Amino acid sequence: MNYFTIDKPASASFIEKRSEFIGYIAPVTSNDQAVEFVNSIKAMHRKAKHNVYAYILRQDNISRYSDDGEPQGTAGVPVLDVIQKRGLTDVCVVVTRYFGGILLGGGGLVRAYSHAASLACDAAHIMDMRLCRRLRISTDYGLYGKISYILPNYKTITVNSDFGQDVTLEILVMSDMLEPLMKDITETTNGSAVVSDCGELFSDFSSVT
């Protein structure tokens, strides 16, 4: 159920034997979004020789690619392979090539397109999307410190804190850590903390160690 994706577009480029390769990556969640992104890059680089692309979508487990005029198997497939090996989904990668006049050969093209795709991935922030629960915890100030002490043990993310008459915390906890956390809170507070389950969602846990 968990997956890796990116939060926003990124790009990077390099030159190989006078050909410029520019790798672009963007988050997409549908076929229409992927096509729109590909077309936007093509519009930016109308004079480029090739705009090769590949994308993978979680919905319906879709993956598509295009060599865009390069020899079959030397461009789109290598870009798709990079996305797959990185374990990314809901992303689209486009590699634009400005031909420099020197042929790279099949192996050279595979390496160049793979490298451009890898550079684009490296430039993006990878999100570790985990299935989690959003909890609202209400407690008095005397128990707040005890609850705060145990939360890091369950790799939680605090999304909101309200210090009013009582303390109210809104946190995210990975679904597989929910039961032990609830048990620990109950035992730590002798059942006096009020915990409300606000539902299940996917959220980025890449910053949690």
User: Crossing angle, helix 141-150 and helix 178-188, to 10 degrees?
Assistant: 140
Q: Quote the pLDDT of residue 60.
A: 86
Domain count, the chain: 2
Which percentage of the chain shows pLDDT scores above 70?
100
Instruction: Please state the rounded mean pLDDT for residues 38-42.
Output: 97
Q: Which of residues 124, 159, 182 is at a domain's end?
A: 124
DSSP assignment of 120-181: HHHHSPEEEEEEEEEEEEEE-HHHHHHHHHHGGGGT-EEEEEEESSSEEEEEEEEGGGHHHH
User: What's the pTM value of the predicted model, to 2 decimals?
Assistant: 0.86
Q: Quote the pLDDT of residue 54.
A: 98
How far apart are alpha carbons 109 and 99 in whole angstroms?
11
Q: Which of residues 78, 109, 124 is at a domain's end?
A: 124
Give the chain's mean pLDDT: 94
| Helix, coil or strand: residue 90 | coil
- Together in a domain, 93 and 57: yes
Q: What is the CATH number for 185?
A: 3.30.70.240
- Taking the CB of residue 159, how many other CB atoms lie within 10 A of it? 12
Interval 155-169: pLDDT, tens: 999 999 999 889 999
Interior angle at CA 107, CA 105 and CA 110, nearest 5: 110
Residue 87: domain span: 3-124
- Together in a domain, 80 and 155: no
3-class DSSP string for 1-40: CCEEEECCCEEEEEEECCEEEEEEEEECCCHHHHHHHHHH
In angstroms, the Cα distances linking 196 to 62, 110, 182 are 37, 52, 10
Interval 168-198: pLDDT, tens: 999 999 999 999 999 999 999 999 999 999 9
Q: Quote the pLDDT of residue 185.
A: 95
pLDDT at 209 over 80: no
Q: Quote the pLDDT of residue 128.
A: 96
Residues contacting 185, CB < 8 A, separation 6+: 137, 147, 150, 193, 195
- Together in a domain, 71 and 115: yes
